[in-house]
């Protein structure tokens, strides 16, 4: 009898643990992913003919938080956009490691400097080798039009990639 109760408690704990892991994973899927392998992302971009979209941000940037929360988190989970772009965040003030488009190891901060990003938030649209497709979206000027600017840049990037081949 004691073994049966112990087994029941163990199964119950295991089910609670599995539920928590699934809940945490589901919540994380609604968030923008950090860049870690741009070379791999670039290969996927080339195969799927969709742009790599890089969101340059910093930790204490309220405008970055606004853009991430109001626009980019939504894009990363919206089925209409999941087949149109590969979206990743790059933190300009982070020493987090990153494999760049040419397979070189660099930090997020070093990559940001290499790309000459001076103001955040900045959104950059590139092809699979990191070449810029359309003009960056820098800062937040008119919040009411920001989503339209973003969608327009995505569509222009897609059209450029489609016309290449």
**In the prediction, which pLDDT does 52 show?**
97
**In the prediction, which pLDDT does 2 show?**
59
Q: Measured between alpha carbons, how far is 164 from 136 in angstroms, rounded to an integer?
A: 20
pTM: 0.80
Name 83's Cβ contacts closer than 8 Å, sequence gap at least 6. 48, 50
Cross-strand bridge partners of residue 57: 91
- Ranges of residues in the chain with a pLDDT under 50 are 11, 14-29
């Amino acid at each position: 009898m004691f073994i049966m109760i112990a087994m029941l408690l163990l199964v119950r704990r295991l089910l609670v643990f599995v539920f928590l892991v699934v809940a945490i994973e589901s919540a994380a899927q609604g968030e923008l992913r950090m860049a870690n392998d741009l070379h791999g992302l670039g290969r996927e971009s080339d195969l799927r003919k969709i742009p790599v979209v890089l969101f340059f941000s910093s930790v204490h940037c309220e405008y970055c938080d606004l853009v991430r929360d109001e626009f980019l988190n939504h894009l990363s989970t919206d089925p209409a956009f999941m087949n149109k772009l590969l979206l990743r965040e790059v933190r300009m003030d982070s020493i987090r490691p990153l494999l760049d488009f040419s397979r070189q190891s660099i930090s997020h901060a070093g990559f940001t400097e290499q790309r000459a990003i001076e103001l955040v938030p900045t959104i950059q649209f590139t092809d699979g080798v990191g070449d810029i497709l359309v003009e960056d979206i820098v800062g937040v000027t008119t919040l009411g039009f920001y989503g339209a600017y973003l969608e327009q840049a995505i569509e222009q990037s897609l059209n450029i990639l489609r016309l290449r081949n």
